[in-house]
Amino acid sequence: GQLIELSPDGNQIAANEIDSVAPRGEGGLLGIALHPDFANNRWLYLYETYGAEDGTRNRVVRYQYRNGEIANRSVIIDGIPGAAYHDGGRIAFGPENTYLFVGAGDAGSSREAQSTSTLNGKILRLNPDGSIPETNPFGNAIYSFGHRNPQGLAWDRLGRLRSTEHGRSGVRSGLDEINLIKRGANYGWPYLEGDETCQNDRMYSPAVPDKTQSNCSMLPPVIHSGPDITWAPASAAIYDKTLYFGGLRGQAIYTVQIKKSGVEVGLGEVKAHFKKRFGRIRTVKVGPNNQYLYVTTSNTDGRGNPEASDDRLIRIKLRAFDF
């Protein structure tokens, strides 16, 4: 993998090879986050897939980045199960700049998403040095569980964490999700999908072991794509009252309005923009001046139809989106 720095006009300033990365299937160099005090400490964080003696693993590594060079490598968290599919990889600092959040896919072991002693199929929360926050719900890095492949992390103006997540795949694709993430909550995978609850399990996936149990508290998504539509959401960004996310299989930039009614905060209709214009959309990110949305494509990943200019970093004015 490569870490590339670009100038504001899109020209390359520097490039660093990350030799420890093993690109395998959906794995590789997957996520990047700058420390909130990056201007002073120059710390950046990368989520990377690597080959271990016992198989594929993922980890978060911190580097110092100065004058176009990386140095002072430090592993923040290690041993996140990896595989050819469902490696997650999104990392982001929360709104108070206190914690680093990490999206970890189930690595193809769907039932491990229900375990609070394994790291796959989870959203993790760490202190910037990799230590475990005292307020984490299970005494380890896990913040929420029951996830299939969360790939978008973004916070609204109330400081609430929204996550986009890939639903089922293959012939029976669809049921992609937008979740409202709560500390210690269980989001149901692999037992619940779509509008299912413990008492109304239509068995898209394996049946809930005891769906009549009174303490079953798996949370459904705030909104989902339905069984016949696939977004394959690979990112999330929020500006003002709008949630943006990229669609891989959906080949669009999606928006959804965040609406408040009394004390309740819900989501409006999901709308697709630039459908099939750029191909597979990986990351969306609102720029520092809140004028542009920066977008990366993922057309050379073996699943797209790349053009000569792929892959690309695209800049779109936020006012170009018709809500």
Give 191-236 pLDDT, tens digit per residue.
889 988 877 766 556 666 655 555 678 899 999 999 999 999 999 9
**Selection from 243, 245, 261 nearest residue 253 by Cα:** 245
CATH number of 231-323: 2.40.10
pLDDT of residue 202: 63
Residue 207 gets which letter from DSSP?
A: P
pLDDT at residue number 89: 96
Q: Distance of CA 240 to CAs 13, 157, 261, 320, Å?
A: 31, 7, 16, 15
Does 3.40.190.170 match the CATH number of domain 2-230? no
| Residue 270 phi, psi (nearest 5) | -80, 130
Backbone angles phi, psi at 110, to 5 degrees: -60, -40
The per-residue pLDDT for 209 is: 65
pLDDT tens-digit series, residues 122-166:
999 999 999 999 999 999 999 999 999 999 999 999 999 999 999
Q: How confident is the model at residue 72 (pLDDT cuts 50, 70, 90)?
A: very high
Give the bridge partners for 186, in sequence order. Answer: 145
What is the share, in percent, of the chain residues with pLDDT greater than 90?
80
Active site residues: 86
* Contacts of residue 314, Cβ cutoff 8 Å, sequence gap at least 6: 278, 294, 295, 296, 297
Find tokens 């300033």 and name the residue. Answer: 13
Sequence spans of domains, the chain: 2-230, 231-323
- Residue 82: is its pLDDT beyond 80? yes
